[in-house]
């Protein structure tokens, strides 16, 4: 009984820096499987978002700037952004990718808050993100704006920090 209770209790604990990142294995908009484990060896910013989440949509321009600024690290297989959408309507999701000019890898199971991936990362509000190191361990949790940009820059060795510090907002289920 004690082992079962301890196991259930551990499942409810929030993710912490140093934890192994739970696997993400979802489909891209064109139906190809995308797995976080396939990105091992890279620093990966996992961005949980949705087209219906105004703060998430607001962050996409910042992530686009980051993706552009760190393009050399992306090309050198040192950095990647992985978008995980909590949308439930594929057409709205795909249209959002075009509208917001999102060019980095994107995935979704279109299960909204019921997504097993959202549950494994214990997401309670959006936007939410984790930075996963090259060994698959969580290096940072829920950084946004300048702190996120600075953290990524420090991890990949860039010195170009020009990001402003936007106001943090969130959307809850």
Confidence band, pLDDT 50/70/90 cuts, at residue 162: very low
Residue 131 lies in a domain: yes
Residue 130: pLDDT band with limits 50, 70, 90: very high
114, part of any domain: yes
Give the pLDDT confidence of 54-113 residue by residue, as tens digits. 999 999 999 999 999 999 999 999 999 999 999 999 999 999 999 999 999 999 999 999
Mean pLDDT of the chain: 88
- Asked whether residue 148 is domain-assigned, the answer is yes
In a domain, 10, yes or no: no
β 25-27/33-35 pair status: antiparallel
* Within a domain: 126: yes
In a domain, 3, yes or no: no
pLDDT at 168 over 70: no
Choice between 173 and 116, residue whose per-residue pLDDT is larger: 116
In a domain, 64, yes or no: yes
Total structural domains in the chain?
Answer: 1
12 pLDDT band (50/70/90 cuts)?
A: low
Please give the average per-residue pLDDT across 133-162, as a whole number. 86
pLDDT, residue 141, reads 97
Please, what is the end-to-end C-alpha distance for the chain in angstroms?
A: 33
Range of the domain at 150: 18-156
- Helices 54-69 + 145-156 axis angle, to 10: 30
C-alpha–C-alpha distance, residues 149 and 156, integer Å? 11
Non-local CB neighbours of 102 within 8 Å, separated by 6+ positions: 60, 63, 64, 83, 96
Both tokens of 102, joined, read 């999102």
Asked whether the beta carbons of 102 and 150 are under 8 A apart, the reply is no
Query: 78 and 43 in contact (C-beta within 8 Å)?
Result: yes
Report residue 166's pLDDT band, with 50, 70 and 90 as the boundaries.
Answer: very low
CATH number at residue 132: 3.40.30.10
Q: Is residue 45 part of a domain?
A: yes
Q: Average pLDDT in the 42-54 region? A: 98
Distance (Å, whole) CA 77 – CA 6:
39
pTM, two decimals, is 0.85
């Amino acid at each position: 009984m004690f082992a079962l209770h301890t196991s259930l209790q551990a499942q409810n604990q929030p993710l912490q820096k140093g934890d192994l990142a739970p696997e993400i294995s979802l489909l891209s908009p064109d139906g190809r499987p995308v797995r976080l484990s396939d990105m091992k060896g890279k620093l990966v910013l996992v961005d949980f978002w949705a087209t219906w989440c105004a703060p998430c949509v607001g962050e996409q321009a910042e992530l686009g700037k980051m993706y552009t600024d760190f393009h050399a690290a992306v090309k050198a297989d040192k950095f990647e952004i992985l978008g995980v959408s909590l949308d439930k309507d594929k057409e709205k999701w795909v249209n959002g990718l075009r509208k917001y000019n999102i060019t980095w890898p994107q995935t979704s199971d279109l299960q909204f808050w019921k997504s097993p991936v959202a549950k494994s990362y214990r997401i309670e509000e959006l936007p939410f993100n984790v930075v996963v190191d090259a060994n698959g361990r969580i290096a940072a949790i829920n950084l946004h704006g300048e702190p996120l940009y600075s953290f990524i820059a420090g991890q990949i060795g860039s010195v170009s920090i020009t990001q402003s510090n936007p106001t943090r907002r969130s959307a809850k289920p």
